Chains A and B, each alone.
Chain A
């Protein structure tokens, strides 16, 4: 893969874009009793990768292609933001995604300044911002999909260690077992990214949508989402 250093930079949780304040729905799932050990965490992560992860990765791949195109960035970004809105029924999740997107753009504006980033919405979805950032860093659509998929499981896994006091080695071993799955999902996301916006997938986890709403209304929580 070309440009590996750029991918590592973009996918690094130490990129200062505020991701550490979120658990990707894990805290709500823990509160509901869905996740309480490494096995149930792995199950949760696999489900997240296949739903939010695949959708976001497909959008990131599409956004990356759009950004690399010579023109039409703004309209294409808007279409992708709209597509994600339509595929994200929970207002809390839409909010979180746009907040993370805005934060990422704020960081990229300093880290890899590029006029195309200015064509993004004021609060683009995270996947759209990530795809644009990938392109600006010279990455291809597949790499953008990988970056999104990686974060979709690595973020909640890190949160699990704080929430559940799981063995950090066992938690990372669960992540390691997801590798082949992420590879397959990245390929699919890459294909979706090359297609039309209307054909983007709409994978769903309705129970997690419901929990996300409950979490947003909670007055005491460790993670913002």
Chain B
């Protein structure tokens, strides 16, 4: 892919998008990743909020990163536009961080949520993970959509809550894996250290592949017909 700012993919940070519906745990996952990786990778975060900078303030309050490494982009109630159709605000935020804190290894970009169809443009990110949670119900993974089907990684989050919402995690993972034609699905709970390690390992591998020139962005594809949930 011909990157918009022309920097070669081996000299700049891995830009990792985190998409998925509101409340599935994107901000928490980013905080978890920062905690797990801050000692070995130089990190920064861009949040995309629907209303002001709530998520940026949450992340700053966790103390996982110096506050100035967390930038908020306000999306004017159009979070899907900001990561896909009109990515200029996000690109500038990412480039500012990459310049201001050079050299960075990893920039995490949290989408403002919105609906199941919103995915990142490959002109903005190198890879994206899509986050669902068990509380949304076991069926969501089967329903599919570009993010679920073709994001680089699908995370099924909050598995610790599965018993309370009567969801069979193994089944949900199997359904999701089928919807993804075998692509990677990760069951995650911040209360289960092994799952957090698996997530961090996935990011390490991806960064390694990018540095070795073995990874380029893959577009999950056009959104399904626009249905607001």
Find out whether the CB atom of A221 lies under 8 angstroms from the CB atom of B88: no
Contact of B88 among A107, A159, A219 (CB under 8 A): A107
CB-defined contacts of A21 to chain B, threshold 8 Å: 74-76, 78, 82, 89
- CA of A14 to CA of B51, assembled, Å: 22
Q: Which range contains the number of B residues in contact with the other chain?
A: 10 to 19
Q: Residues 6-46 of chain A: 1 if any B CB is under 8 Å from the residue's CB, otherwise 0? A: 00000000101110111100000000000000000000000
Contact of A223 among B77, B81, B87 (CB under 8 A): B77
- CA of A176 to CA of B19, assembled, Å: 39
- CA of A14 to CA of B85, assembled, Å: 9
By secondary structure, the A interface counts as: loop
Find out whether the CB atom of A20 lies under 8 angstroms from the CB atom of B86: yes
- CA of A20 to CA of B73, assembled, Å: 12
- CA of A14 to CA of B84, assembled, Å: 12
Whether B222 is near chain A, meaning CB under 8 Å from some CB there, is: no
A-B contacts counted at CB < 8 A amount to: 47
Known: A223-B76, A224-B74. A18 touches B52 (CB 8 A): no
Whether B4 is near chain A, meaning CB under 8 Å from some CB there, is: yes
Which residue of A is nearest B92, CB measured? Answer: A106
Known: A103-B92, A219-B52, A220-B51. A16 touches B85 (CB 8 A): yes
Find out whether the CB atom of B76 lies under 8 angstroms from the CB atom of A222: yes
Find out whether the CB atom of B78 lies under 8 angstroms from the CB atom of A16: no
- CB of A144, distance to nearest CB on chain B (Å): 20
For chain B residues 1-55, which have a beta carbon within 8 Å of chain A? Answer: 4, 51-52
CB-defined contacts of A102 to chain B, threshold 8 Å: 92
CB-defined contacts of A17 to chain B, threshold 8 Å: 86, 88
Which residue of B is nearest A218, CB measured? Answer: B52
Which among A20, A103, A220, A223 has the greatest number of chain B C-beta atoms within 10 A?
Answer: A20
Whether B91 is near chain A, meaning CB under 8 Å from some CB there, is: yes
CB-defined contacts of B81 to chain A, threshold 8 Å: 20
CB-defined contacts of B4 to chain A, threshold 8 Å: 110
Find out whether the CB atom of B51 lies under 8 angstroms from the CB atom of A20: no
Which residue of A is nearest B87, CB measured? Answer: A16
Contact of B77 among A16, A162, A218 (CB under 8 A): A162
- CA of A210 to CA of B97, assembled, Å: 32
- CA of A169 to CA of B3, assembled, Å: 40
- CA of A94 to CA of B82, assembled, Å: 22
Q: A162-B77, A220-B52, A223-B74 are in contact. List 13 more A-B contacts (CB 8 A).
A: A16-B88, A17-B86, A17-B88, A20-B78, A21-B74, A21-B75, A21-B78, A23-B76, A106-B88, A159-B76, A218-B52, A221-B51, A223-B76
Chain A residues in contact with chain B, CB under 8 A? 14, 16-18, 20-23, 102-103, 106-107, 110, 159, 162, 218-224
